Amino acid sequence: MEADGKQGQEGSPELSLRPLDLSDIDDFMVWATDDKVSRFCTWDTYTSKEAGIDYIKNIVIPHPWFKAICLDNKAIGAISVSANNGNDRCRGELGYALASKYWGKGIVTRAVKMVASTIFNEWPHLERLEALVDVENGGSQRVLEKVGFHREGVLRKFCILKGRCRDMVIYSLLSTDPQP
Amino acid sequence: MDSGTVTLRPFRVSDVDDFILWAGDDQVTRNIRWKTITSKEEALTFIKEVCIPHPWRRSICIDDRSIGFVSVYRWSGNEICKADIAYGIAAKYWGQGITTKAVKMAVSEVFKDFPDLVRLQAFAAVENKASQRVLEKAGFTKEGLLRKYTFLKGQLKDLVIYSFLSTDITVAVDDKLL
């Protein structure tokens, strides 16, 4: 069926992942300026285009794995995998954000499946793809569960998000787990 | 028979001969990142350059003689609310409740030394049942199993993660754990 996750049904827009670049800045600002989107993210809602441009130049472009989630090649969100060094090189952390008007349509689930099906081939040293989700972020927990991530536990008061110490659910998908 | 008084104190250069007895033992260093110490010189350097200047490392002592260590590593940035605790003691003192006692003392001291610390966490290799029992007896909460989490001495490890929160202290005192 959807081997590459591109089309849900006949006639529906094509979903793809590609690098995010400066020409996407206006589309980036759509989700980056939305409090609903930034709510559970480590970044604060963007308030200026300059800050958005700096972010794309300094963080996104040099990033080891950062893609725009695109519908008909228009960026509507982003998905990334962070790399670790030394003894921790076996694991990478997944992160994603999607413009709120596109929530609830299974788009992030499809994007995460696409990442899960290629990242272990692109990074042969990667054994574990993990994700940390705020306990109150039910939508994001459902995405990971639908893709087949294992819920390993709740890490109490694990990190500070928007000035508060949060309980985070930790999920993992191993290279040896059945691929989604 | 009384096992002697268990105390925590900073390391001293004069601990070197006792230090080698446990830090030079592969059994003790197996599940920590320390390389097994192989000479008195190495031990002296390690005590002077690592153990003594460390932001929070204590010698576990019996009758003021060093039989092990407990360290706390604080995170920074948006992870400043948490710290990692690690420990090890000489094999001849295993299975006697000494490590548990030392960890309980360390937990109490650390939350006093770092009043803004919210979470103390510990990792134990899935096969290291003894260390898991220490943490459970010391009042830590088991949170889950992290699969293929990190390399330790070249081996990919599954680790059990535990935490002790600053808010757990009152509970532990009430339950007479601390």
pTM: 0.93
Determine how many CB atoms are found less than 10 A away from the CB of residue B140.
24
Q: Strands B119-125, B82-89: parallel, antiparallel or unpaired by DSSP?
A: parallel
pLDDT band at residue A1 under the 50/70/90 scheme: very low
Q: CB contact, 8 Å: B161 with chain A? A: yes
Tokens of A65: 């794995």
- Choice among A21-30, A109-118, B29-38, B164-173 with the minimum mean pLDDT: B164-173
Query: Residue B16: what residue type?
Result: V
Choose among A153, A81, A93: nearest CA to B121. A153
Q: Is pLDDT at A11 greater than 80 in this prediction?
A: no
- What pLDDT was estimated at residue A13? 76
Mean pLDDT over the full length of chain B:
95
Whether the CB-CB separation of B38 and B26 falls below 8 Å is answered with: no
- CA A154, CA A170: separation in Å to the nearest integer? 6
pLDDT band at residue A3 under the 50/70/90 scheme: very low
Whether the CB-CB separation of A55 and A46 falls below 8 Å is answered with: yes
Query: What mean pLDDT do residues A26-47 have?
Result: 96
Q: Is pLDDT at A105 greater than 90 in this prediction?
A: yes
Query: What mean pLDDT do residues A107-128 have?
Result: 97
Between A11 and B65, name the one with better pLDDT. B65
- What pLDDT was estimated at residue A34? 97
Query: What mean pLDDT do residues A18-47 have?
Result: 97
pLDDT band at residue A39 under the 50/70/90 scheme: very high
Tens-place pLDDT, residues B28-87:
999 999 999 999 999 999 999 999 999 999 999 999 999 999 999 999 999 999 999 999
Q: Which of chain A's residues have a Cβ under 8 Å away from the Cβ of B150?
A: 87-88, 90-91
When CB atoms are compared, the residue of A89, A154, A158 closest to B119 is A158
Tens-place pLDDT, residues B105-163:
999 999 999 999 999 999 999 999 999 999 999 999 999 999 999 999 999 999 999 99
Supply the ipTM of this predicted assembly: 0.93
Secondary structure (3-state) at A119: helix
pLDDT band at residue B178 under the 50/70/90 scheme: low
Mean pLDDT over the full length of chain A:
94
Q: Is pLDDT at B8 greater than 80 in this prediction?
A: yes
Count the helix, strand and coil residues of chain A and give each as a percent rounded to the nearest 5: 35, 30, 35
Q: CB contact, 8 Å: A22 with chain B? A: no
Q: Is pLDDT at A9 greater than 60 in this prediction?
A: no
pLDDT band at residue B3 under the 50/70/90 scheme: low
- What pLDDT was estimated at residue A40? 96
| Chain A interface mutation, best of B31, B80, B151, B159, highest count of A Cβ atoms under 10 Å | B151
Q: Which of chain A's residues have a Cβ under 8 Å away from the Cβ of B143?
A: 153-156
Q: Is pLDDT at B23 greater than 50 in this prediction?
A: yes
- CA B70, CA B57: separation in Å to the nearest integer? 6
Q: CB contact, 8 Å: A165 with chain B? A: yes
